Amino acid sequence: MVVVTIISFLAMTAVPTIRLVQRKARASATANDLRVFESAFQGYASERGSFPASTDPGVLPPEMVGRLKEADWVKVSPLGGHYAWESNQVFGGSNCKAAISINTTGDSPITSGADQLEEIDRMIDDGNLNSGNLLFAGGGSLVWIIER
């Protein structure tokens, strides 16, 4: 009985730590994806003078084939949902020339809570999802603004 109690106690203390580590890993993977994708789109715009047209979630812009691994773009993001390229859209009340969004889709909702999203914001932006370049756009989407 004592052994079972000790194992139960250890399990109770380990679960929150495991969840914290998983949350940080998802935040790091998402931040890395956004940086890699941003670099590829910036390179394209630098060479061509403009960004590609917008695409639906999970669809790689045809101009980016060969610049990005399509499998990385079309996969479910670490947060759930799919990546989408946004060009000439309005986010947070301002016009944006270029952005990457993570959108809830029918087969894959964004499953991360506010804590997870704020963790990502602290890693790559200002720590506030209502300002800066990483915004929670409502409707189940997170937006990384590349150029306003």
HSE, CB side, 13 Å, CA atoms: give it for residue 142: 28
Residue 144 has pLDDT above 90, yes or no: yes
pLDDT the model gives residue 65: 94
Evaluate whether 89 touches 40 at the Cβ level (below 8 Å): no
Q: How far is CA 3 from CA 9, 17, 131, in A?
A: 10, 22, 51
What are 59-117's pLDDT values in tens digits? 999 999 999 999 999 999 998 999 999 999 988 787 899 999 999 888 888 877 888 88
The mean per-residue pLDDT over the stretch 125-140 comes to: 84
* pLDDT tens by residue, 10-62: 778 877 888 888 889 999 999 999 999 999 999 999 999 999 999 999 999 99
Cα distance between residue 13 and residue 4, in whole Å: 14
More confident call, 5 vs 138: 5
pLDDT value for 73: 96
**Predicted local confidence at residue 46, as pLDDT:** 95
Which residues on adjacent β-strands are paired with residue 105? Answer: 108
Torsion sign, CA atoms 112, 79, 111, 141: positive
Q: Give the 3-state secondary structure of residue 86.
A: strand
**What is the pLDDT at residue 21?**
86
Domains of the chain in sequence order: 2-147 (3.30.1690)
Please say whether the beta carbons of 128 and 121 come within 8 A.
yes
Residue 134, CA distances (Å) to 63, 89, 120 in order = 24, 14, 9
Radius of gyration of the chain (CA): 18
User: Which of 80-84, 116-120, 125-129 has the largest mean confidence?
Assistant: 80-84
